[in-house]
Amino acid sequence: MEEISNLFQGFATVLQPFNIMVMIVGIVLGVIIGVLPGLGGANGVAILLPLTFSMSPTSAIIMLSCIYWGALFGGAITSILFNIPGEPWSVATTFDGHPMAQQGKAGEALTAAFTSSFVGALFAVIMITLVAPLVAAFALRFGPAEKFGVYFLAFCSFVGMSKEPPFKTVAAMMIGFALAAVGLDQMTGQLRLTFGFTPLLTGFDFLIAVIGLFGIGEILLTMEEGLQFKGRSAVINPTVVFQTWKELPRYWVTSLRSCVIGCWMGVTPAGATPASFMSYGIAKRMSKRGNNFGNGEIEGVIAPETAAHAAGTSALLPMLALGVPGSPTAAVLLGGLLIWGLQPGPTLFIDNKDFVWGLIASMYLGNIVGLLIVLTCVPIFAAILRIPFSIIAPIILVYCAIGAYSVHNSNFDVVMMMVFGVLGYFLKKCNYPLAPLVLAIVLGDRAEESFRQSLLASQGSLSIFWSNWLVGTIMALGLIALFWSAIQTTWTRLRAMVTA
Amino acid sequence: MTRPIHTLSFGAAFALGTALALTSAVPTQAAWEPTRPVEFIIPAGPGGGADIMARTIQGIVTKHNLMKQPMVVINKAGGAGGEGFLDIKASAGNPHKIIITLSNLFTTPLATGIPFNWKDLTPVAMLALDEFCLWVHAETPYKSAKEYIDAAKKANGTFKMAGTGSKQEDQIITEAIQKITGAKFIYIPERGGGAVAVQLVGKHVDSTVNNPNEAISQWKGGTLRPLCVFDSKQMPYKEVIAEGKSWGDIPTCKSQGLDIEYLMLRGIFMTPGATKDQVDYYIGVFKKVRETEEWKKLMADGAFNQTFMTGADYTKWVATEEKRHEELMRAAGFLAKQ
Amino acid sequence: MTGQSNGASGAGPSHRSVEIGVALLTLVFSLIVIGGSLQVGIDWAFDGPRAGFFPFYLGLLILMSSLVNLFQIIMDGKTQRLFAEWGQLGQVLRVVVPSTVYVVLVPYIGIYAASILLIAVFMKWLGRYGWTLVLAVSIGTIVITFIVFEKWFLVPLPKGPIEELLGL
């Protein structure tokens, strides 16, 4: 009960007029950051951090967390409209979000995405409010082996079922892993696969691959098919938000499942990206319309968006409670806390109660304000698709280039983006699945790292992955997910045999 | 068809450009000052010690208006910071770029063989030195470094030490401990100091050599305990942190029979070929930064060693330190194969 | 809008030849990965697997699946499906060529000038818009971009001689 009264005090702090203004400014800035590739959430927060030093810590953290919300909302916009995910966790949103936009249902897709983000984040905030200390203790149980288990589970639940030829899937995924391995090997501090070529030192960033494979590749496919987005004739409908809302409650099971997946993945330091892929993969398997995923199913937008944002939000919890950032943005916020003289960690909840509860209250309100702002803009965003292709395409190209450049401030990356673009066109036309490739680039080095850390700790014995109930359960779930379709067919056959 | 019109519009742009350049370049020949935003490169990821320090400096500069042009902080962490160093090296003659360094100034080129050496850069100033402590979990019985090392020896090479990165400062210290005491550790590299501390809190490893500010919160929270500090003398900070102890109460490792001294550089360098005026300008800025309350607080919170050096002293210190790293890393077998 | 006919319909590279090309590409890639891994060591050192251990097996897996893919395509000689018609590929090239030129130009003339050129070329060549609109959109977009990135968010983007002259 003490939590609740603290929370209301927090609300009182946040509801001061100045703080509300700060909140709105933060959300709008955040949406801009999320929409423009090259200004990621972490980037945006980092750049704006110094601006907030003249404010009180509470106002400042409200502004920064609202920028964070705004960026989360904004990331979905480019994914759905142009097939360009600005952030790793928006990749899974493109799978069904972009086909929806192509069918003229951009408004529905955006509404579903924003609403799901809201639901996911809200769920996570409620969890933070109620069970923060408990969850923080749970996060501590994650050593290298458990982390690897989580990555393994994310891969298995996403990859197990693919319509493409299996050897093409293997090739695509392994190429992704190989690209992720380029650069410095974190475990031995050695350079590998760089062949003495210095621009390769930093490896292949996921963003460059994704901008190329998805964004540029999409433009090339559009050109081949004859110069226009299919959804161009879409009627701009101001009531689209309410119409979509009527449909959404039907998918409450998917939402709830995605919330749980998201929170779990956010607290275990795996983060939002595996959460979104895993949630998409599981939704595809569980849904009655699973076969139609990838062709513009609204459920395929709800699942990854809910999970990503539940994860992104709950990732702030380890930061506050343990001082370990669960995401790059959280890392920058952490730096901010230190500058304001607040020491994150177990003592923050005791020493700086006002601040912590002010932050949590601002999460509730910031989320609501953010949702209202982006929802009112849905028709405007959807209208962007009405701009003729020969105007919007070069502008997209320019922003892709800016995005690719600003990852490492490197011209080489811009060239690589173009290479990935052409490659994406050919791979897609030849039925190589791009999603496993991207997932492997995003998680590959992390997964390898935790695998090798585990082996170091166990001195080479693989038994460490079954050494306690936690890691054992996660690995078992992963294996079940991987062989799910096989298990299912065996089961139905067995049943048929029994009844026969 | 399109060409003439393009050249025309660019011709106009050129004309406009020269006009603007003429009016805006009002010469103030007194001393050098930046004429465009200064890029402040961090050869490490967001959230680490160097990142926090650089962002604090940026905040101080902005808040107190210490520079007329904005300061832009950019993380270039790729290749254990090699990305940032190579960028500075490639920007010779651009006075609007500075870099904050940590030990990877030496360790990264030595371990990876990338074509870079600190002599490629122009030294500006040493801002501070970061201390290292030996940490164990508070629930373990070890009250002194000696007790811990004895236990590690008995455990016969099964004790685990977590640290930041591979073949970098944390692993160099671990190697030195092994060499001096004969105890063996399994070294597990993590991505950042925060993650290292949490692995220790979660009892996935037995000890760490975290910087003070990476583990202060866990010490306050009663989950970690510092055993000794790798410096020649005890730290000067007397404010009580936890268990009635201050940073100043932590004994030196030397007094515990671990004769190891290791401090990490937090210093500033500029692009190659910078003039004395330019270096002096930045020294002036950092001197002002050091006088602010915010900086003093950062120093006290992180229990930094506040040595400040410029000019020949600084260059000499860096040269000695490079030689020391090379020796340490050769002994450990960490040098890149040629 | 294209003003061009889609070429002689029905003619174009066969799907099969492109598939073979892609499979060969992945094959070459796998060899590069394997070579790079061998350089850094693929065995198990005293402190765990060496840097090349994982990439080496990844390389082998890519090599294996490339060979299987190649084999399947060559065996499956029946399909006479086209990859795309020449006219369609021409359309694709109309994006690829200007974009490639753009990407190559960026380091020399800066991203802003190159972007103005790219947008203008696209709108003029593919869209056949009038010069007023072309210049308004291309220069307008870039000016907004400049203000947002360089002035608001302080993200430095590559600049060339023109920005140097303008003192930006």
pLDDT given at position C4: 40
pLDDT given at position A280: 93
Q: Where are the alpha helices (DSSP H) in chain B?
A: 2-24, 49-63, 82-90, 104-112, 145-154, 169-181, 193-201, 212-220, 276-290, 293-301, 311-332
pLDDT given at position A236: 59
Dihedral Cα C89, C91, C97, C103, nearest 10 deg: -110
pLDDT tens-digit profile of A121-154? 999 988 888 877 777 778 788 889 998 998 898 8
Asked which of A51-55, A209-213, A430-434, B26-30 is least confident by mean pLDDT, the reply is B26-30
Q: Which of B14, B70, B187 sits opposite C165 (nearest CB)?
A: B14
**Cβ(A67)–Cβ(A24) below 8 Å:** no
Q: Which of A171, A185, A411 sits opposite C26 (nearest CB)?
A: A171
In total, the C-beta contacts within 8 angstroms joining chain B to chain C are 36
pLDDT given at position B25: 42
Q: Name B164's bridge partners.
A: B190
The Cα of B25 is separated from the nearest Cα of chain C by a number of Å equal to 9
Regarding beta strands B122-130 and B97-101, do their DSSP bridges make them parallel or antiparallel, or are they unpaired? unpaired
pLDDT tens-digit profile of A18-75? 888 888 888 888 888 888 776 666 666 766 776 676 778 788 878 888 887 888 788 8
pLDDT given at position A338: 67
- If one counts the domains in chain A, the total is 1
Asked which of A216-230, A329-343, B176-190, B240-254 is least confident by mean pLDDT, the reply is A329-343
| Chain B neighbors (3+ CB pairs < 8 Å) | A, C
Amino acid B333 reads G
Among all chains, which residue has been given the structure tokens 């987005």?
A229
Amino acid A384 reads I
- CB A198 to CB B46 under 8 A? no
Q: What is the DSSP string of A16-53?
A: SHHHHHHHHHHHHHHHHHHHSTT--HHHHHHHHGGGGG
Q: Name C159's bridge partners.
A: C110
Which residues in chain B are closer than 8 Å to A344, comparing Cβ atoms? 217
C56 pLDDT above the threshold of 50: yes
Asked which of A41-45, B126-130, C4-8 is least confident by mean pLDDT, the reply is C4-8
pLDDT: which is higher, A159 or B23 = A159
**Residue C154: band (very low, low, confident or very high) from pLDDT cuts 50, 70, 90:** confident
C150 pLDDT above the threshold of 90: no
The answer regarding whether domain B133-256 maps to CATH 3.20.20.210 reads: no
pLDDT given at position A35: 81
Q: Is A479 at the interface with chain C, CB within 8 A?
A: no
C131-146 helix and A389-408 helix, angle to the nearest 10 degrees: 30
Q: Which of B86, B189, B197 sits opposite A187 (nearest CB)?
A: B189
3-state DSSP call for residue A388?
A: coil
Taking alpha carbons only, the member of B61, B59, B69, B103 closest to residue B85 is B103
**Residue B206: band (very low, low, confident or very high) from pLDDT cuts 50, 70, 90:** very high
> What is the distance in angstroms between the CA of the first residue and the CA of the last residue of chain B?
55
**Cβ(A191)–Cβ(B116) below 8 Å:** no
pLDDT given at position A414: 94
The Cα of C139 is separated from the nearest Cα of chain B by a number of Å equal to 11
CA-nearest residue of chain B to A199? Answer: B83
**Residue B1: band (very low, low, confident or very high) from pLDDT cuts 50, 70, 90:** very low
Q: Which token pair is B324?
A: 């020391």
Q: Which token pair is A75?
A: 């990331």
- CB C118 to CB A394 under 8 A? yes
Chain-wide mean pLDDT for chain B? 86
Query: C110-138 burial, b for 16+ CB within 10 Å, e for fewer?
Result: bbbbbbbbbbbbbbbebbebeeeebbebb
pLDDT given at position C106: 93
B257 pLDDT above the threshold of 50: yes
Regarding beta strands B240-242 and B245-246, do their DSSP bridges make them parallel or antiparallel, or are they unpaired? antiparallel
3-state DSSP call for residue B87?
A: helix
pLDDT tens-digit profile of A389-408? 888 889 999 999 998 898 88
pLDDT given at position C47: 67
- CB C18 to CB A460 under 8 A? no
pLDDT given at position A445: 82
pLDDT tens-digit profile of B272-317? 999 999 999 999 999 999 999 889 988 988 899 999 999 999 999 9
The Cα of C125 is separated from the nearest Cα of chain A by a number of Å equal to 9
- CB C167 to CB B9 under 8 A? no
B118 pLDDT above the threshold of 50: yes
According to the per-residue pLDDT averaged within each range, which of A30-34, A56-60, A309-313, A384-388 is highest?
A309-313
**Residue B18: band (very low, low, confident or very high) from pLDDT cuts 50, 70, 90:** very low
pLDDT given at position A42: 65
A269 pLDDT above the threshold of 80: no
Give the side-chain half-sphere CA count within 13 A for B77: 16
pLDDT given at position B12: 43
pLDDT given at position C1: 36
CA-nearest residue of chain B to A319? Answer: B194
Quote the percentage of chain C above a pLDDT of 70.
90
C3 pLDDT above the threshold of 80: no
- As a whole number, mean pLDDT of residues C9-31 equals 89
According to the per-residue pLDDT averaged within each range, which of A33-37, A74-78, B173-177 is highest?
B173-177
Q: Which of B190, B223, B301 sits opposite A346 (nearest CB)?
A: B223
**Cβ(A116)–Cβ(A306) below 8 Å:** yes
**Cβ(A346)–Cβ(A321) below 8 Å:** yes
Strands (E) located in A375-447:
none
The Cα of A160 is separated from the nearest Cα of chain B by a number of Å equal to 30
In total, the C-beta contacts within 8 angstroms joining chain A to chain C are 184
- CB A429 to CB C48 under 8 A? no
Taking alpha carbons only, the member of B68, A413, B85 closest to residue C158 is A413
> What is the distance in angstroms between the CA of the first residue and the CA of the last residue of chain C?
38
pLDDT tens-digit profile of A448-458? 989 989 988 88
pLDDT given at position A361: 85
Q: What is the DSSP string of A296-308?
A: --THHHHHHHHHH
**Residue C116: band (very low, low, confident or very high) from pLDDT cuts 50, 70, 90:** very high
Quote the percentage of chain B above a pLDDT of 70.
90
**Residue B47: band (very low, low, confident or very high) from pLDDT cuts 50, 70, 90:** low
According to the per-residue pLDDT averaged within each range, which of A57-66, A94-103, A484-493, B212-221 is highest?
A94-103
- CB C89 to CB A224 under 8 A? yes
Asked which of A318-327, B44-53, B277-286, C54-63 is least confident by mean pLDDT, the reply is A318-327
pLDDT given at position C6: 42
**Residue B24: band (very low, low, confident or very high) from pLDDT cuts 50, 70, 90:** very low
Output the CA–CA distances (angstroms, integers) from residue C92 to A232, B224, B309, C14, C103, in the order listed: 20, 61, 59, 16, 16
pLDDT given at position A161: 58
pLDDT given at position A235: 55
- As a whole number, mean pLDDT of residues A473-492 equals 86
Taking alpha carbons only, the member of A34, A97, A87 closest to residue A294 is A97
Which residues in chain B are closer than 8 Å to A49, comparing Cβ atoms? 55, 58-59
Strands (E) located in A235-328:
none
3-state DSSP call for residue B266?
A: strand
CATH of domain B38-130+264-332: 3.40.190.150
pLDDT: which is higher, A61 or A98 = A98
Q: Is A50 at the interface with chain C, CB within 8 A?
A: no
Q: What is the DSSP string of C95-148?
A: HHHHHHHHHHHHHHHHHHHHHHHHHHHHHHHTT---HHHHHHHHHHHHHHHHII
pLDDT given at position B337: 72
Q: Could you report the predicted ipTM of this complex, rounded to two decimals?
A: 0.90
- As a whole number, mean pLDDT of residues A468-493 equals 87
Among all chains, which residue has been given the structure tokens 């970098």?
B168
The conformation of residue A410, written as its DSSP 8-state character, comes to -
Q: Is C47 at the interface with chain B, CB within 8 A?
A: yes
Q: Rounded to 5 degrees, what are φ and ψ at A387?
A: -65, 130
Q: Which residues contact A356 (CB under 8 A, 6 or more apart)?
A: A320, A348, A349
B27 pLDDT above the threshold of 60: no
- As a whole number, mean pLDDT of residues B217-228 equals 89
| Chain C neighbors (3+ CB pairs < 8 Å) | A, B
Domain boundaries, chain B: 38-130+264-332, 133-256
According to the per-residue pLDDT averaged within each range, which of A14-23, A97-106, B51-60, C101-110 is highest?
C101-110
- CB A175 to CB C26 under 8 A? yes
- Determine the residue among B57, B112, B186, B214 to mutate to test chain A binding: the one whose Cβ has the most chain A Cβ atoms within 10 Å: B112
Q: Rounded to 5 degrees, what are φ and ψ at A304?
A: -70, -35
Chain-wide mean pLDDT for chain A? 84
Q: Is B111 at the interface with chain A, CB within 8 A?
A: yes
Q: Which of residues 56-85 of C touch A (CB under 8 A)?
A: 58-59, 61-62, 65-66, 68-69, 72, 83-84
3-state DSSP call for residue B246?
A: strand
CA A161 to chain CA mean position, Å? 21
- Determine the residue among B199, B211, B298, B299 to mutate to test chain A binding: the one whose Cβ has the most chain A Cβ atoms within 10 Å: B199
**Residue A326: band (very low, low, confident or very high) from pLDDT cuts 50, 70, 90:** low
B271 pLDDT above the threshold of 70: yes
pLDDT given at position B6: 41
A322 pLDDT above the threshold of 60: yes
